[in-house]
Amino acid sequence: MSEAIVEQIRTLIRGEQLRPGDRLPSERDLGERMGVSRVTVREALRVLEAGGLVEIRVGARGGAFVTTPTSAKIGGDLADLISLSPLTGTEVTEARQVFELGIVPMAVERATEQDIAELREMVKQHQSALKAGEYGMPMSAAFHVRVAACTHNAAIEMLVHSFHGPLLMSLREAQVTAPQMGHRGTTEHRDFVEALAARDALRAQDIMRAHLQRTARRVARTKGSRSRDDES
Amino acid sequence: MSEAIVEQIRTLIRGEQLRPGDRLPSERDLGERMGVSRVTVREALRVLEAGGLVEIRVGARGGAFVTTPTSAKIGGDLADLISLSPLTGTEVTEARQVFELGIVPMAVERATEQDIAELREMVKQHQSALKAGEYGMPMSAAFHVRVAACTHNAAIEMLVHSFHGPLLMSLREAQVTAPQMGHRGTTEHRDFVEALAARDALRAQDIMRAHLQRTARRVARTKGSRSRDDES
DNA sequence: CCGGTCTATTGGTCAAACCGACTGAACCTC
DNA sequence: GAGGTTCAGTCGGTTTGACCAATAGACCGG
């Protein structure tokens, strides 16, 4: 079975006997080595590719290269999970609220001066973009991810990134950002950064809570949409 | 390309033109219908299967059946992500702490009398199991998942489940549970349930914080292990 | 020394075939 | 007629052998 091959290679990768960047033998080689046909090997590789463990390049010197799964991959599956499971937008938003609110104290505690400087710069740019009518959800998402990065915890940053990343791509509806929302949103972003700079965890959390709750209400208003994710 | 087929079917599923339980045409049918060979169709189905969107059954009346992705699937990919990316056990544990701590107020607020009764029953059973020397990590995980279920938010429950589920399977090291840890763990579980029953969010959060921090310390002690996940 | 071509490697796809698993119905036994 | 048995058709799983397309590196001519 090709499942066996998948598991075998998976184990090799997990055991670090295959490291990111390594190239697996060609499909023909693998097939011969494992005593299966090429088609079977290909199916195994497809699965690994779909799982984000391997990247396949064509042409000479091509083949399957070990990669480290990206948060985008996880985010994609998460998007599938959300858009296909009986999860409602409200539920997802709630989960996001809990998580993003929970990391605030950690962010406040661990943010470096550089973090703060970059956040301030980001807010400034976003306000400019807002005036130019170019402010949108991607920018808001970037801000939230940048805040998560202040925890200096890759796992947290990755999770928040997953929340904000491909998730949005799967939810095409209602991406329009009401202008006043954008204004209020960036204002809250600015206030949050200042609270963070002042190492005032409680105030930062209050601001973030209000910010996220506004989103939650917006999601709740959008009946019929299975999930939403924007607060501008 | 077979990628196109994947995307086509994916879209059909997302658009609810294919609903969970539906059966896709046979591989031969699909191939003929789309003008591609069976091999190509098979690769597409493999990818969908790997993504948890489809379940494949053999035999007559077999074929590809649309399924809703399970949290186990997501958890599996999450486990890959964690064991293959440069995430440390400390980081993952921190993320878990933030999330599980963050949901406590919601759990306290929303737990029904039945939730509380079931949690009490669970604690009682775990204490019996402890005496019999049968208490282990799966039980602890079950408790935490049950607490998450008190939020009555499927997304949150699923996330916590993912944290506790397949994640553990990928981290074989150091599953041994020191007995005194188990004792202290179940005691904390009991205290937590009572705080929850009393609707005392602050106390519940304090208990949970201490409970999770003990885990964090244990993880930190285990140098060399890429990640850990147990608090008994 | 540059640039184009040629060739070997490797993934992508196809076609036809056989196997094993499974279902359902016809059939046979009692 | 009830119940077990057999058999054929359906369907995924795998194999074989072949050809196409992309690509990188060697080779060759100017």
DSSP summary character for residue A69: P
- pLDDT reported for residue B88: 76
pLDDT in tens, chain B (232 residues): 889 999 999 999 888 899 999 999 999 999 999 999 999 999 999 999 998 999 999 999 999 999 988 777 877 777 777 777 777 778 888 898 999 999 999 999 999 999 999 999 999 999 999 888 888 778 888 999 999 999 999 889 988 888 887 666 555 444 445 556 678 889 999 999 999 999 999 999 999 999 999 877 776 665 444 443 444 4
Report the percentage of chain A scoring pLDDT > 90: 54
Residue A23's identity, in one-letter code, is R
- pLDDT reported for residue A84: 75
- Please say whether the beta carbons of B189 and B123 come within 8 A: yes
Contact across the interface for B68 and A85, Cβ inside 8 Å: yes
Indicate the Cα dihedral angle A167, A171, A172, A176, nearest 10°.
Answer: -80
The answer to whether the beta carbon of residue B56 comes closer than 7 angstroms to any atom of strand D is yes
Cα–Cα distances in Å, from B222 out to B79, B82, B217?
Answer: 18, 16, 9
Q: How far is the CA of B42 from the C1' of C19 (A)?
A: 17
Please, what's the b/e burial string for B122-158 (b: 16 or more CB within 10 A of its CB; e: otherwise)?
Answer: bbeebbeebeeeebbbebbbebbbbbbbbbebbbbbb
Contact across the interface for B50 and A47, Cβ inside 8 Å: yes
- pLDDT reported for residue A189: 95
| pTM for the predicted model, two decimal places | 0.80
Q: Which residues contact B153 (CB under 8 A, 6 or more apart)?
A: A91, A94, A95, B106
- Please say whether the beta carbons of B50 and A50 come within 8 A: yes
- Note whether B26 contacts A: Cβ–Cβ < 8 A: no
Q: Which residues of chain A have pLDDT under 50?
A: 172-176, 223-232
| Sign of the C-alpha dihedral computed for residues B189, B191, B197 and B201 taken in this order | negative
- pLDDT reported for residue B226: 43
CA distance A128 to B23: 52
